[in-house]
Every structure is written in structure tokens, then in C-alpha cells.
């Protein structure tokens, strides 16, 4: 069934677990993620990233996501990931998404507040939940979110501290905008990590206590972070955790191995189907890890 973020994350936080939010830029990923959630009878958030639109447009993939969510035996939130332009936010609404991330994090604080507040009022009047971002999510190597023009440079753990979310600002931001979820920065990056990430868990705790209870804290860039650290971030208050790049990387390696093993004697549709099964298993591991037995 199709649900928005609010009820899903409220229950997760009360029970002390997190729900993964994972990109679905093709049918294999979409089937894998919903299948994994059904296998474990647990909710899941699937999303379409604006930067994946050059791979498959939201007009094509969005209705498939919504249809699959409605048909699922478990609660599924269909979310827009890092929506930046108003045109794109409207496309997500038209496709029937139940939740939208409006990312104005590159703008000054006051402008971020103004735009998110305005959009949240509009979205809430239609029963849609809103995620915003405060701080800057840095791009690591091979950032699948960054698009082709992204600056390719290697950032270290020390480099990104200046982008971390300020807890006091986070509290004020949530209060003034009324957003349902807030993506914050405390040591993760998008993409493939150049060195093992080190999370500032105390920062998450400070943010959680500064932000009003009905605004959920979101962690982006969780893939590539060891599960033990992700679980500590969940315990500290993150109830929505975005996870994608390393599953995609894993599926690529799986396909490469399959091609080598069969010496290329594998049809594309068989390879795609095997990759779907691989990702379904991978997503089950992520779901289990984020629930930590709950």
C-alpha cells in the first residue's frame, strides 16, 4: 500500500529502527526492493532522484513506482530524492508520489527556510510529506547523484566537517518550515568513499534533541558505511536512511562475475533477472540491518 513518510517514520522512531530509502532507476531495482520488503514483511521507501532522470524520466518510472507501491503487501512510500526545481517537484506530484524531498541546501539559510516553508504548506494540503536538507552533503568519488558535470575530487573526512549541520539551526529550521523530515550532515557523503567514513554520532544526538519530535532525522550516503556505524546513527535518532550506491556497485560486480563465469554465454535478459535476484537479497540484508532485530 502507498503511504507517506509521516506514519511510517513515526512508528520506526518509536520502536528504535530505521527504514531504508533506496533509488529505483529501473524495473529490476523496483521489483527487488519491493520484493525484499515483502519477503521480510517490513515497510520500505523507494525513490526517484532528479539526477537519475537522464537515465529514465520520472514520467516513465514514476507511475510504475506508484503502481508497484499500491499493489505491495507492505507499506511503501514513493519519494522524490533531492528535488531541486519546481518543475520537477510538480512532475513528482503528477506521478502520484506520496512524499517529496525539496533540496534547497545550496541556498542561504533564510532562503532555504522560505522556500521549504512555502512548499510544505502546499504539499501538506495535498497529504504529501516533505523532506528538506540542512548542511551540505558532499560528493565522494563516483557519485551517482552528482550528474556528469560534478567536480571530480577526493574529499577527506576532515574536509567535510565544515559542511556539517548545526544543531541549533536544525531546530529553528524544522520549527519554522514545518517539514516532516530533515536530511542532516554528520560525516557521510554521496557515492563511493575514498576512505572509510567516520560519523559524528554526538552531532546526531544533538540534532535529534534540538529538532521538534514530529520532524524525523534523515541520513544520506549510508551505503559504504559499515553497518555498525549506521546502527549507532539509528540509535542516535536517524529513522530514514538513504542507501543506494554500494548496492548498484555490488550488482555491477555480480554481473561482471556472471559474464566471466559463463564466458559471455548469457543473454541480457537472464543477466538482468539474475541481477534482480542479487539486489533482492542485498536489500533484505539492508532492511534487516536497519531494523537491528526489531
Catalytically active residues, by annotation: 81
Is residue 108 exposed (0-12), middle (13-18) or buried (19+ Cβ within 10 Å)? Answer: exposed
Specify whether the CB–CB gap between 72 and 37 falls below 8 A. Answer: yes
Q: Count of residues for the chain?
A: 294
Q: Using the rule CB under 5 A, give the single segment among 109-117, 119-127, 148-156, 220-228 that binds Zn ion.
A: 220-228
Specify whether the CB–CB gap between 252 and 273 falls below 8 A. Answer: no
Nearest approach, Cβ of 164 to Zn ion (angstroms)? 15
Q: Using the rule CB under 5 A, give the single segment among 70-78, 91-99, 215-223, 279-287 that binds Zn ion.
A: 215-223
Nearer to Zn ion, 13 or 143 (CB): 143
Nearest approach, Cβ of 121 to Zn ion (angstroms)? 24
Got the DSSP string for 246-271?
HHHHHHHHHHHHHHHHTTT---HHHH
Q: Is 284 in the site for Zn ion (CB under 5 A)?
A: no
Q: Using the rule CB under 5 A, give the single segment among 22-30, 149-157, 213-221, 229-237 that binds Zn ion.
A: 213-221
Is residue 271 exposed (0-12), middle (13-18) or buried (19+ Cβ within 10 Å)? Answer: middle
Total residues contacting Zn ion by CB under 5 A comes to 1
Which single residue brings its beta carbon nearest to Zn ion? 220
Nearer to Zn ion, 216 or 220 (CB): 220
**Residue-wise burial string across 125-163, b where 16 or more C-beta atoms lie within 10 A, e elsewhere:** eeebbbbbbbbebbbbebbbbbeeeeeeeebebeebeeb
Contacting residue, 220, 240, 284, 291, with Zn ion by CB under 5 A: 220
Nearest approach, Cβ of 137 to Zn ion (angstroms)? 5
List interacting residues with Zn ion (CB under 5 A): 220
Amino acid at each position: 500500500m502507498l503511504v507517506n513518510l509521516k506514519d511510517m517514520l513515526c512508528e520506526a522512531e518509536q520502536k528504535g529502527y530505521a527504514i531504508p530509502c533506496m533509488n529505483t532507476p529501473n524495473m529490476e531495482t523496483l521489483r527487488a526492493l519491493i520484493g525484499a520488503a515483502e519477503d521480510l514483511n517490513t515497510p520500505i521507501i523507494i525513490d526517484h532522484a532528479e539526477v537519475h532522470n537522464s537515465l529514465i524520466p520520472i514520467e516513465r518510472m514514476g507511475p510504475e513506482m506508484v503502481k508497484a507501491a499500491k499493489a505491495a503487501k507492505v507499506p511503501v512510500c514513493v519519494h522524490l530524492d533531492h528535488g531541486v526545481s519546481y518543475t520537477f517537484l510538480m512532475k513528482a506530484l503528477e506521478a502520484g508520489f506520496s512524499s517529496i524531498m525539496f533540496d534547497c541546501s545550496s541556498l542561504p539559510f533564510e532562503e532555504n527556510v522560505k522556500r521549504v516553508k512555502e512548499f510544505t504548506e502546499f504539499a501538506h494540503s495535498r497529504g504529501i510529506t516533505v523532506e528538506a536538507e540542512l548542511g551540505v552533503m558532499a560528493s565522494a568519488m563516483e557519485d551517482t547523484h552528482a550528474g556528469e558535470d560534478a567536480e571530480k575530487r577526493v574529499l577527506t573526512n576532515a574536509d567535510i566537517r565544515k559542511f556539517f549541520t548545526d544543531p541549533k539551526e536544525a531546530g529553528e529550521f524544522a520549527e519554522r518550515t514545518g517539514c516532516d523530515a530533515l536530511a542532516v550532515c554528520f560525516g557521510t557523503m554521496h557515492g563511493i568513499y575514498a576512505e572509510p567514513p567516520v560519523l559524528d554520532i554526538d552531532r546526531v544526538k544533538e540534532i535529534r534533541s534540538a529538532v521538534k519530535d514530529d520532524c524525523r532525522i534523515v541520513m544520506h550516503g549510508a551505503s559504504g558505511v559499515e553497518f555498525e556505524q549506521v546502527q549507532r546513527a539509528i540509535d542516535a535518532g536517524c529513522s530514514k536512511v538513504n542507501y543506494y550506491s554500494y548496492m548498484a556497485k555490488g550488482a555491477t560486480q555480480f554481473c561482471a562475475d556472471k559474464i566471466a563465469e559463463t564466458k559471455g554465454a548469457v543473454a541480457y535478459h537472464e543477466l538482468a533477472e539474475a541481477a534482480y535476484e542479487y539486489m533482492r537479497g542485498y536489500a533484505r540484508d539492508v532492511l534487516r540491518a536497519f531494523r537491528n532485530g526489531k
